Amino acid sequence: MYKFYFNRVKNKYELNELVRMFLPASEYELVDEEIYSADPDIKLINIPDEIEDKNEAKRYLFNVLKHYTGFKPDWGILTGVRPVKLAGEIIKETNSIQRTKEILMNDYYTTEAKADLILKTWGNQQKVIADLDKRAIAIYIGIPFCPTRCIYCSFPSNQADEEAIKDYLKALYKEIEYVSREVEKKGWYAESVYIGGGTPTILSDSDINELLIKLVSLLDTSKLKEFTVEAGRPDTITYNKLKIIKDFGVGRICINPQSMKESTLNRIGRNHKPADIVQAFEIAQKVGFDVINADLIAGLPGEKPKDFIDSLTEIIRLRPGNITVHTLAVKRASRLKEEDEEYSYNKGNTVRAMLDEGSSLLEDSGYRPYYLYRQKQMAGNFENVGYSLPGKECIFNIRTIEDNQTIIALGAGGISKIWFPEENRIERIPNVSNYKIYIDRIDEMIKRKRDGMFAIEEDV
């Protein structure tokens, strides 16, 4: 067990994030000055007085931790969620991709591979998001229900009966009605709509039909560039349902295999087989969507690098427009966290091998990285990367991850973000995540939006 006392650290939270890249939480403790003074065994990490700059302090700590652990994290001192956004800011300052790469490697200590990944992703984004209209917003609608709960899930996902779902939809319609009216009054318009979850396709054919009728009749969708529905679980997909969705103008759907290995699907709590995933793709291709996204997870319980690469190979064979490779994030609210406290840390080397081979395979197959983000508690502290065939990139994903657009999130668990471009800042307005409380307190959710978003004077 390492015990550290860091003098002169202003942001303890950020420091903790950095230490966590080197050591599992059970193997270190950060103590305060009082405990340090009473225990001679505690290591003092003495940040020299002349170090003023935050990044310089982080570099110093990085080198100390590297010395103690013999380990050098691929992401260097970058602990933030949006490394591509940071790179974009450096590119703006330096006007040079090469110089930015040097800064990422020399000042932020990333490996060359991560610096290249960041810059490739940034480059591929520019073609898609170059024309930014400040009046264009994104709309997210959450359907927080799933057939079963996956072992790693930390999203709003509930198993509910039809009656409860209908009550939820009623409350949601109220919010859709309010938001659509206010968006129009503000002179904003929806550039993209994303119906996510949970699993929206768990809704019956008639419920999904009604939801889409409400949405397209209330919200002005005439300037929509992209309309996505998550059909995440193959066990909720039928030809009829997808046909209804397609007829309302949805061009992009997500079918999320996560793995193509049957024993893994069983282990993570899914009640479908790999053959169901293939069948769901065939149905979606028959209905004729512009883009299908497939999510895969690196670092699932029991999987070796070969299992992940076999799944990826099968998915590539199905030729979806987007493939999103997530690194498993073991959050506090998941069952997996309860089972193995140090899961994320222990999986580091396995995930590195999966991601390294996976990215080469994807690029050799014509896919390009176009959005990237990191989360807390990711196995090995790696990243999530969205890959796309050229021209199929998802606008919603890029804009929301880069935090450069107002997003209005409706439904339980939705977190709206107002973007203030002049100040380059985001303000969050959350809905409650429990769907029953959401139904009970729908008027308060609407009031939150009115006070925090529509009543403000600023020209966003």
Q: For binding to ligand SF4 (CB under 6 A), which residues are involved?
A: 146, 149-150, 153, 155, 157, 197-199, 232-233
Backbone angles phi, psi at 111, to 5 degrees: -75, 165
Element (H, E) at 354: helix 348-364
**Cβ atoms 348, 362 nearer than 8 A:** no
Determine the Cα–Cα distance for residues 100 and 86; give it in Å rounded to an integer: 10
Q: Which residues are CB-contacts of 32 (< 8 A; sequence separation ≥ 6)?
A: 5
Shortest CA distance to 232 belongs to which of 329, 138, 149, 354?
149
**Cβ atoms 20, 28 nearer than 8 A:** no
**Cβ atoms 293, 253 nearer than 8 A:** yes
Counting beta carbons within 10 angstroms of the beta carbon of residue 253, is it exposed (0 to 12), middle (13 to 18) or buried (19 or more)?
Answer: buried
Judged by phi (left if over 0) then psi (alpha if -120 to 50, else beta), residue 424 lies in left
**Cβ atoms 295, 272 nearer than 8 A:** no
In the 8-state DSSP scheme, what is residue 236? G
Counting beta carbons within 10 angstroms of the beta carbon of residue 50, is it exposed (0 to 12), middle (13 to 18) or buried (19 or more)?
Answer: exposed
At which residue do the structure tokens 């509930």 appear? 158
Question: H helices of 189-273, where?
Answer: 205-218, 239-247, 262-267
How many Cβ atoms from other residues are within 10 Å of residue 293's Cβ? 25
Determine the Cα–Cα distance for residues 327 and 369; give it in Å rounded to an integer: 15
How many Cβ atoms from other residues are within 10 Å of residue 292's Cβ? 21
Q: What torsion do the CA atoms of 18, 21, 23, 25 make, to the nearest 10 degrees?
A: 80
**Cβ atoms 432, 441 nearer than 8 A:** yes
**Cβ atoms 399, 138 nearer than 8 A:** yes
Number of separate helices (H) and strands (E) present in the chain = 18, 14
Counting beta carbons within 10 angstroms of the beta carbon of residue 10, is it exposed (0 to 12), middle (13 to 18) or buried (19 or more)?
Answer: exposed
